[in-house]
């Protein structure tokens, strides 16, 4: 298979400048370039170069095995690149303009596309992070795009989470796996993303358990806001997890994926299926929790109204009697009697006590 030679042009000059390679732990902020890390990998071993273009030349300039397949590949990792930076790499690796546009703009649905022999994979990353002064946690999403060709892998990450530094370090410690080619990187990245789904799903499960316990506890608490927030976070998680099943299944059938990697991809797909079912069960669980909470609120309101009505009826008796005897008529019963006032007080007390006991017996008080 003939390898494409790198021909420097005006748009790619920046890639040929000698720059110190950022360390794997370099923070995203404060960078003057979107390139996080790059290297050429030959037979599973890393070969560091001064520039990305040097790494490409090293792989494509005559390093071929007898069957015509490249003995190595280049892996370039980017974080939120600009249009100019990604366009430079697009000219070097021959990336399709439509895929480059998707990688720049982000906000794509998980998918698997093939452009001129280059596989383009889009995945959603998720994180459960604190938001606001109250410390509530929300599901935050990002994206990882993978351009996978015969002798290169370009990973483009959007968002503050889902760092691929640990993935690269783990692969570099296993040369036998890395020697399987770009497909090994694709599997490692997808495995990392799905592991992130598992962690977030478990964290959401803990919050749902806390809400459920609070709703069915004897103490009266208002959990409606928290339940609605959890339902919103579950929807965010479903949008990330659900659509990835198709691309993962498609990756297992691609010709560039060795048989060894296909087994691992099927394992990742199995984990994704379990997470998807777990997330779907959250929505089914939150609905009855919300209904039970609203029922409890309605019952509590009814109890409060019964108490108010009962006390209103009790206080109506002295109010009615005092109102009658407050009228300025000359001929009123017992107004001239010495014991009239104590008698009226006694009637009020007996009537109120009788009403109180009746309401108490019926559960209104």
pLDDT tens digits for 206-233? 888 888 887 777 776 777 788 888 888 8
Rounded Cα–Cα distance for residues 138 and 129 (Å): 6
Tell me the CATH number for domain 10-294: 3.30.460.20
Whole-number pLDDT of residue 161:
79
- Note whether 123 and 139 are within 8 A (CB): no
- Note whether 102 and 90 are within 8 A (CB): no
Long-range contacts of 255-261 (CB under 8 A, 24+ apart): 256/119, 256/148, 256/150, 256/181, 256/182, 256/183, 257/183, 257/186, 258/180, 258/181, 258/183, 260/180, 261/180, 261/183, 261/184, 261/186, 261/187
The DSSP code sequence of 248-291 is: HHHHHT-TTS-HHHHHHHHHHHHHHHHHHHHHHHHHHHHHHHHH
Whole-number pLDDT of residue 64:
42
Within 31-173, where are the H helices? 52-60, 83-93, 97-105, 165-172
> Domain limits of the chain?
10-294, 299-361
Count CB neighbours of 315 within 10 A: 12
Long-range contacts of 314-318 (CB under 8 A, 24+ apart): 314/352, 314/355, 314/356, 314/359, 315/352, 317/348, 317/351, 317/352, 317/355, 318/348, 318/352
Whole-number pLDDT of residue 71:
64
Whole-number pLDDT of residue 2:
36
Which segments within the chain are labelled E, that is strand?
A: 35-42, 45-47, 72-79, 111-115, 118-131, 136-148, 152-158
Whole-number pLDDT of residue 168:
92
In CATH, which superfamily holds the domain spanning 299-361? Answer: Magnesium transport protein CorA, transmembrane region (1.20.58.340)
Regarding pTM above 0.75, the answer is: no
Give the residues of the chain that fall short of pLDDT 70.
1-32, 62-71, 132-135, 220, 293-294, 296-302, 329-331, 335
């Amino acid at each position: 298979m003939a390898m494409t030679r790198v021909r420097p042009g005006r748009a790619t000059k920046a890639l040929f400048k000698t720059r110190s390679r950022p360390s794997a732990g370099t923070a995203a902020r404060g960078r003057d370039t979107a390139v996080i890390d790059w290297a050429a990998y030959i037979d599973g071993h890393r070969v560091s170069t001064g520039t990305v273009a040097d790494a490409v030349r090293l792989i494509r300039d005559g390093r071929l095995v007898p069957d015509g397949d490249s003995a190595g590949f280049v892996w370039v990792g980017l974080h939120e690149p600009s249009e100019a930076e990604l366009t430079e790499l697009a000219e070097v690796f021959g990336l399709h303009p439509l895929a480059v546009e998707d990688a720049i703009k982000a906000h794509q649905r998980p998918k698997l596309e093939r452009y001129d022999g280059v596989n383009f994979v889009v995945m959603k990353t998720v994180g459960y992070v604190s938001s606001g002064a109250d410390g509530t946690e929300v599901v935050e999403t990002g994206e990882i795009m993978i351009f996978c060709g015969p002798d290169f892998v370009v990973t483009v990450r959007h968002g503050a989470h889902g760092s691929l530094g640990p993935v690269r370090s783990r692969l570099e410690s296993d040369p036998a796996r890395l020697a399987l080619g770009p497909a090994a990187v694709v599997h490692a990245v997808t495995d990392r993303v799905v592991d992130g789904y598992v962690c977030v799903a478990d964290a959401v499960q803990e919050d749902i358990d806390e809400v459920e316990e609070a709703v069915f506890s004897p103490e009266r608490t208002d959990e409606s806001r928290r339940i609605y927030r959890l339902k919103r976070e579950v929807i965010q998680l479903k949008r990330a997890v659900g659509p990835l099943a198709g691309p993962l299944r498609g990756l297992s059938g691609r010709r560039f994926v060795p048989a060894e990697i296909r087994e691992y991809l099927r394992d990742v797909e199995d984990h994704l299926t379990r997470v998807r079912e777990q997330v779907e069960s959250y929505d089914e669980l939150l609905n009855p929790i919300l209904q039970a909470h609203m029922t409890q609120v309605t019952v509590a309101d009814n109890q409060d109204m019964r108490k108010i009505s009962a006390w209103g009826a009790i206080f109506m008796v002295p109010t009615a009697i005092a109102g009658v005897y407050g009228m300025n008529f000359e001929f009123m019963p017992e107004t001239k009697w010495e014991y009239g006032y104590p008698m009226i007080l006694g009637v009020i007390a007996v009537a109120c006590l009788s009403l109180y006991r009746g309401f108490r017996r019926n559960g209104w008080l």
